[in-house]
């Protein structure tokens, strides 16, 4: 069974003007699709082709299979972390956990932005749950918390293809816009509920 490009949870232009349809077209329609297509070529005729994406990510050795599988997973997770009309501070349990871990929502955004902007080159910034605590981690390239003991709750893609058409070299502005206008706290709450 081939791996598939999952549909976006919204229309290509639904996040405009903060995240343009042009960026979605390239980021989802070209980059994400290429990771899926490449993963299918790499796993065709192998026992990996019948495994779930998560099983491939967790079990693959470093190299092309891992890189493409992890990028498919990371991107799918990233799209779900945004929504039209999103952004602003969370409420409920997510707000309580963020307050307990970081002191305030503003401090959380500041720390997350530092992790995202401080990632040299390509990678990801994540909000994760580990040992009952919320933490911010930054991973290079295709690395993902799926291979660690942490549970991913939210991610921001800081590969240049994620933001360059809309924000050029202004990665801090992109990450700030993500939190101000895009973040889907309902998705974070769903992920947090799975942690128990």
What letter would DSSP give residue 61?
A: P
Task: Give the mean pLDDT of 159-188.
Answer: 96
What letter would DSSP give residue 14?
A: T
First-to-last C-alpha distance (Å) of the chain: 32
> Taking a C-beta distance cutoff of 8 angstroms, is the pair 35, 8 a contact?
no
- The string of DSSP codes covering 81-114 is TB-TT--S---HHHHHHHHHHHSSHHHHHHHHHH
Quickly tell me which residue has 């871990």 as its tokens.
101
Secondary structure element (H or E) that encloses residue 71, with its range = helix 64-80
Average pLDDT, the chain: 96
Percentage of the chain exceeding pLDDT 90:
96
Strand partners, 125: 138, 156
d(CA 3, CA 134): 31
Statement: residue 189 has pLDDT above 80: yes
The model's pLDDT over 36-61, given as tens digits with 9 standing for 90+, comes to 999 999 999 999 999 999 999 999 99
Domains identified in the chain and CATH numbers:
21-80 (1.10.287.990), 92-195 (3.55.40.20)
CA triple 63-163-154, angle to 5 deg: 65
The model's pLDDT over 84-118, given as tens digits with 9 standing for 90+, comes to 999 999 999 999 999 999 999 999 999 999 999 99
Give Cβ neighbours of residue 24 (< 8 Å, ≥ 6 apart): 8, 12, 13, 15
Closest CA to 180 of 127, 128, 109, 122: 109
Task: Give the mean pLDDT of 113-133.
Answer: 96
Dihedrals phi, psi of 85, to nearest 5 degrees = 70, 20
Position 103 scores a pLDDT of 97
Give the pLDDT band of residue 31 (cuts 50, 70, 90). Answer: very high
């Amino acid at each position: 069974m081939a791996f598939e490009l999952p549909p976006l949870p919204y229309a290509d232009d639904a996040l405009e003007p903060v995240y343009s349809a042009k960026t979605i077209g390239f980021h989802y329609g070209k980059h994400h699709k290429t990771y899926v297509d490449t993963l299918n070529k790499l796993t065709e005729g192998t026992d990996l082709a019948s495994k779930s994406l998560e099983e491939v990510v967790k079990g693959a050795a470093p190299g092309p299979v891992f890189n493409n599988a992890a990028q498919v997973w990371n991107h799918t997770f990233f799209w779900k972390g945004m929504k039209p009309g999103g952004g602003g501070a969370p409420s409920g349990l997510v707000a309580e956990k963020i307050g307990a871990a970081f002191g305030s929502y503003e401090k959380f955004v500041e720390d997350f932005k530092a992790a995202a902007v401080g990632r040299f080159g390509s990678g990801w910034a994540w909000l994760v749950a580990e040992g009952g605590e919320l933490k911010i981690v930054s991973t290079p390239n295709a690395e993902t918390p799926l291979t660690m003991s942490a549970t991913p709750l939210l991610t921001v893609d800081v590969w240049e293809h994620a933001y360059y058409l809309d924000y050029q070299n202004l990665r801090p502005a992109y990450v700030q816009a993500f939190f101000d206008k895009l973040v889907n706290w309902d998705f974070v709450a769903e992920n947090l509920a799975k942690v128990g």
